[in-house]
Structure 1
Amino acid sequence: MDQVYEVCKQSEIPVYFVGGCVRDYLLCKKSTDFDLAIDSHGFEVLCQKLEKNYALNKSQFSTFSINIGDYNVDVAAFRMETYNRANGLPDIQLAKMEKDINRRDFTINTGYTLMTKSSIRVLVGAHLNRNQSNDILKINYSHLHFFEDIENKLIRILHPNSFVEDASRLLRAVKYQVTLGLNFETDTQLKFNSKLARSALEKFSLDRYKQIILDYALKSNGKHIISALYNEKLLLYTISSSSPVLTNVKMDSMMSFDSSLALFGKALLEEVDDRTRSVLFLLFIYHEHIIFWKNQDRSVNLLIEEITAIQSGLQVDFICDAWHVFKLLQGKSIASILFVSLLIQNGFIAIDHPELIIELSTYLDKTRFTKVLVTGTDLKNIGINQGKQIGVMLNSLLKYKVNKRVNMTINEEINWIASRINEYRD
């Protein structure tokens, strides 16, 4: 952050911390995302100076993003916004700071703090315990309800059409409820629940909507955000790209997910991180429409592809024994296997094999670790020289170990093959 400060100081350009980083500090939360606001001239100067040493991600809305160390910094020129499009993307007009405040989503995000050495120490240094710091964060400009709403932890829109103009604010409000423990101001609650706001969400850019939801799901507390969105009926799916509708899934959401997942035991669940579990929860809600979330995130794509492959394998004359389960699941992630198991447990996949859940659990607990210790060289030493024979025998040994669920030493494996060597000679 010092790099930004030095550029602005040398050019005598005031730049302000604004939005979430100021809000989070006042709510005693740590932030690694910093929004900066600056006049249009300063924006151009700062952009030109920084792009000499950093890769800037620029947008058409007079903004750019930059990663500095562990921090993500978004810089925007002061501007006014008008919304003439249903996708939530604004038309902009450069303006003064006094006008810039009106484009913000909620009053709690309208605190402007001049960037100084002191404010950098407070915000970037993360002095969350004010008793340990002599620095005081000075708010240079804000909405008239800013301090009141911060103190009372209220979500308040700045004007009546806020949710209609940008329906992503519906999603963000729910995220703030979950992550910051906020409640709606009375009139904002009415606007949030209005048919106009919900209609605006259904007309919102589908790609942007998906990216926002996946970003939420990939947070460490993403499952709780997704659950809250589900309960508020803010999760969408679509049969065609032109007709999104609100979801109407038939389940008890998080309770069903958690109770089913708990059956696999703590040790196994520890192999799946919180973010992946949040994505699994999202896909669990969309169990009939998981393809809806494809092509938005590489890791999610891979997960969906594995889930789809397992489901397809179960439907094509599947033989339900340890070996065929092993072949189907080998190389698949624990997350994708758990997900398919959850679908079976909850009756979302119709199967002809009641023992399948037991076989899946056995694979997860034991047989997935099964491997052959003996090598081709070991087999050559006992008189098997042909490559094809070696491959067949190693595969037969693996199949035996999987079906019998046994552990064997190398000598035991060699003896097992030696006892059957005549079966594999031409």
Structure 2
Amino acid sequence: MNLSERIESSLTPESLALIRLVKTEAERLNLPLYIVGGSVRDLLLGSVIKDFDLIVEGDAARLADALLRKFGGKVLFHARFGTATWTLDETTSKRLNIPIFQLAEFPPFIDLISARSETYPEPGALPAIKRSTIDDDLRRRDFTVNAMAVRLDGKYYGDLYDPLGGQKDLENKLIRILHPQSFIDDPTRMFRAVRYAVRYQFELESVTQQAAVDAEARAVLSRLSGERIRHEFDLIFEEEKPLVILVALEDLSLIKVIHPALEKVRAMALSHLKKPADEFGKFALPGILSLRQALGWILYLLHLPQADIDTVARRLAFPALLTDSIRAASSLLADLPSFKDWKPSQWTFHLDELPSLSVYAVWLVTSESPLHDYLTKWQHVKPITTGDDLVARGLEPGPKFKDILARLRAARLDGEVGSDIEEEQLLRRLVRQ
């Protein structure tokens, strides 16, 4: 089967232009070149391809060096994995005669990867890598639908290479592992299997379904590092239907293997996971997480008791700021009934001490109007008076500064003052006191 026409229609003109540059150099060096994995899967599904990996049957570093010499840019070599990343910059713009502002339309980098085989020294360990053939490279992958390649060089341009039946499984809407030991070698594949099944509305093939409940695979999963498991959840929260994925993982009894406390989670809160409206502005994010990942974790765990949040955080090696954000949301949710008669200033001074993303998460699950008012209005209310103004009135800097400014802000929030003149009058009374 030849997919050259699909390649031309599924990639942006800029991505196609870069691939042509790479394939020309690969042909000159007599290095077979392939698009592989998820890019081929999406190509067959008719999706637009935004990211792609290029596999070189041979030395990827040699190809990257040739591209660097001819077209400029920068290259980062990763010797252990046999990969090289070619990044475009101003020198590429000049050599290709592309205006620098147009360079932003191109993929910022291309990963070039030497075809390799992988062996696992023990279950769950990171694999040992050895340069090999495209056939071995495909056989190291997770599922048949991700184990296809399309050749890009010479007369073979567009030819599909599918030794494991991935195209047929795509047509039959099946997620299939490549061998029965797959989940034992890498238990994170169980999460990926469910994630793909939900995303594409596929089913787990029978052997794959059975492997997901294998006792040895679960034992290896229970010993996996927190960082690796947390990364899989991060990817789940980026999906369109994270709640459906997590329910499917619960149905396979995989969640409790990670930590028993996760059986208490009310995953339904994730039905609220969505991009905030513009009125909420921007949120500070804990660690290197995206907004969906951070908000996903908060929504997923905020109904847990504080002690369980702490044990899950330790098991999954959460960044400290993420743990604090989840704890803050959990406390706020539990304390809400006691705040019902508060004034706007009381709400504001309390919520100012919490991460705004935690406040937003609790508003999503409760629709408590003061939380919305705080996020969209109250937190931005400030008196016009500043510390410099107080100094100009002869006051010595100290704790009283904070008290006066807080009193002025509270008056603004609670409607005691509605104009700059009224604030000035209140200020005079406070200074006299």
Match of 1:302 among 321, 329, 333: 321
| Deviation, structure 1 residue 174 | 1.1
User: Are residues 1:253 and 2:267 paired?
Assistant: yes
8 Å contact 2:173–2:201 — kept in the other structure? yes
8 Å contact 1:283–1:290 — kept in the other structure? no
Aligned to 1:60: 80
CA RMSD of aligned residues (A): 4.1
Please tell me the residue identity of whatever aligns with 2:114: A
The count of corresponding residues between Structure 1 and Structure 2 is 379
| Deviation, structure 1 residue 291 | 6.7
The TM-score normalised by the length of structure 1 is 0.72
Give the whole-Å Cα distance in 1 for the aligned partners of 2:154 and 2:260: 48
User: Are residues 1:193 and 2:193 paired?
Assistant: no
Give the whole-Å Cα distance in 1 for the aligned partners of 2:135 and 2:377: 64
Give the whole-Å Cα distance in 1 for the aligned partners of 2:415 and 2:154: 64
Matched residue of 1:16: which SS? Answer: strand
Matched residue of 2:55: which SS? Answer: strand
Match of 1:84 among 121, 127, 134: 121
Aligned to 1:163: 183
Change (3 A) 1:405 1:8: farther
Within a 5 Å distance, the mapping from 1:141-160 to structure 2 comes to 141-160=161-180
8 Å contact 1:223–1:279 — kept in the other structure? no
Q: Deviations over 1:328-385 (max 9, x none)?
A: 3226443212345679x6xxxxxxxxxxx7765654465323211234565577x555
User: Are residues 1:19 and 2:37 paired?
Assistant: yes
Change (3 A) 1:208 1:276: closer
Matched residue of 1:34: which SS? Answer: coil
User: Are residues 1:212 and 2:228 paired?
Assistant: no
| Deviation, structure 1 residue 154 | 1.2
Aligned to 2:418: 408
Give the whole-Å Cα distance in 1 for the aligned partners of 2:67 and 2:416: 61
Q: Identity over the aligned pairs, expressed in percent?
A: 25
Please tell me the residue identity of whatever aligns with 1:33: D
Change (3 A) 1:168 1:286: farther
| Deviation, structure 1 residue 306 | 4.0
The more displaced of 300-309 and 182-191 is 300-309
Please tell me the residue identity of whatever aligns with 1:20: G
Matched residue of 2:30: which SS? Answer: coil
8 Å contact 1:221–1:274 — kept in the other structure? no
Change (3 A) 1:390 1:198: closer
Q: Of Structure 1 and Structure 2, which has the larger fraction of its residues in helix?
A: 2
Matched residue of 2:43: which SS? Answer: helix
Aligned to 1:330: 352
Match of 2:131 among 84, 90, 94: 94
8 Å contact 1:110–1:146 — kept in the other structure? yes
8 Å contact 1:88–1:205 — kept in the other structure? no
Matched residue of 2:112: which SS? Answer: strand
Match of 2:27 among 9, 18, 24: 9
Change (3 A) 1:362 1:4: same
Within a 5 Å distance, the mapping from 1:209-358 to structure 2 comes to 209-218=229-238, 222=242, 224-235=244-255, 245=259, 247-254=261-268, 256-258=269-271, 274-284=292-302, 288-289=308-309, 292-293=312-313, 301-308=320-327, 321-322=342-343, 323-330=345-352, 332-339=354-361
Q: Deviations over 1:206-241 (max 9, x none)?
A: 32222232243245655554454344433368xxxx
Change (3 A) 1:334 1:416: same
8 Å contact 2:309–2:323 — kept in the other structure? no
Please tell me the residue identity of whatever aligns with 1:326: T
The more displaced of 203-212 and 165-174 is 203-212
Aligned to 1:177: 197
Change (3 A) 1:310 1:208: closer
Matched residue of 1:75: which SS? Answer: strand
Give the whole-Å Cα distance in 2 for the aligned partners of 1:164 and 1:62: 25
Give the whole-Å Cα distance in 1 for the aligned partners of 2:297 and 2:114: 35
Aligned to 2:428: 418
Aligned to 1:46: 63
| Deviation, structure 1 residue 414 | 0.6
Aligned to 2:379: 368
Give the whole-Å Cα distance in 2 for the aligned partners of 1:98 and 1:419: 83
Aligned to 1:110: 147
8 Å contact 1:374–1:410 — kept in the other structure? no
Matched residue of 2:418: which SS? Answer: coil
Matched residue of 1:98: which SS? Answer: helix
Q: Provide structure 1 residue ranges, at least 5 long, that are not aligned to the other structure.
A: 120-135, 238-243, 346-356
Matched residue of 1:76: which SS? Answer: strand
Please tell me the residue identity of whatever aligns with 2:358: S
Change (3 A) 1:38 1:247: farther
8 Å contact 1:217–1:282 — kept in the other structure? no
| Deviation, structure 1 residue 327 | 2.8
The more displaced of 360-369 and 160-169 is 360-369
Aligned to 1:398: 409
Please tell me the residue identity of whatever aligns with 1:95: S
Q: Deviations over 1:44-78 (max 9, x none)?
A: 31243456732426262323455664466443322
Please tell me the residue identity of whatever aligns with 1:409: S
Give the whole-Å Cα distance in 2 for the aligned partners of 1:226 and 1:66: 36
The TM-score normalised by the length of structure 2 is 0.71
